[in-house]
Amino acid sequence: MVMKVLCVGNSFAVDAATYVHQEAKHAGFDVDIYVLYIGGCPISLHWENIQNDKKDYELYINGNRTPECNISLKEGIMLKEWDYITFQQVSHKSGDPTSYFPELTLLLNKVREMSKATFVLHETWSYAKTYSHWLYGSNPLDQNRMDKDIENAYQTVSEKTGIKYIIPVGNAVKEARKTLGDNLNRDGFHLNEIGRTLASTIWTMFFLGNNINLEGFKPSGYSYDDVTGPIDDETFDILVDVARKVISKNINHNL
């Protein structure tokens, strides 16, 4: 039986979903994961787009970009009978719970008219300390504050929307930095190969359980230009260990 997941997001959804299909297959499961992508897209724009049926989305299927594909949010929702649909805020607004409303509530109500899928929140991650942001400063950026703001915001959004499920990617990135250093980003905010593998592992464990067997997994293919190269076995084992611990502590928000 195939699990079908749709991500209503932006480049952070692409980063997180890249290797989920591959990891699930390696562990003996079948997961189709689609991303409706607009770069830097906030929830307010998703709401505007679904109202006006704008065909502004690119589509990623199982980590691969579909060329010359521009569809609307409604068309994406109607593509399949999705088991899960994920939502997230654009990264620079993720720590502000007021930025989600009222558009997220309106968007969720609209999507419920078209799908019986279970809704899930995708918690994004803080920027690298070397990145510059007007709210969190630069050199170094106040990463700790951004982590706390994001975690608190998603908790607040969960409570206000009734969406109990949160994929804790932000928390996983925070924990992985304690061991691997601040080396999970390729440009200060998007994830590099290490970060993408971690995020995908969190997603895979969230949907399939943290006891799945990923021993020997090797991600294949890249979907961005700034390739950092495949990670080594030791680093992957660290990422798996971090993911297991984070998912085990996410018990109130796991499937």
Task: Please list, in sequence order, all residues whose beta carbon lies within 8 angstroms of the beta carbon of residue 124, skipping any fewer than 6 positions away.
Answer: 12, 88, 89, 91, 94, 150, 169, 170
What pLDDT was estimated at residue 220? 79
Q: How many domains is the chain partitioned into structurally?
A: 1
Q: Is the pLDDT of residue 227 over 60?
A: no
User: Could you tell me the pLDDT band of residue 143, with boundaries at 50, 70 and 90?
Assistant: very high
Domain enclosing residue 108, as ranges: 3-253
pLDDT in tens, 59-102: 999 998 887 678 999 999 999 999 999 999 999 999 999 999 99
What pLDDT was estimated at residue 219? 84
What pLDDT was estimated at residue 69? 76
As a whole number, mean pLDDT of residues 31-39 equals: 97
As a whole number, mean pLDDT of residues 227-244 equals: 87
Q: Is the pLDDT of residue 225 over 80?
A: no
CA angle 50/170/240 to nearest 5° reads 120
DSSP, collapsed to helix, strand or coil, labels residue 123 as coil
d(CA 227, CA 197): 13
What pLDDT was estimated at residue 67? 73
Q: What is the CATH number of the domain that holds 211?
A: 3.40.50.1110
Check if the beta carbon of residue 250 is closer than 8 Å to that of residue 179. Answer: no
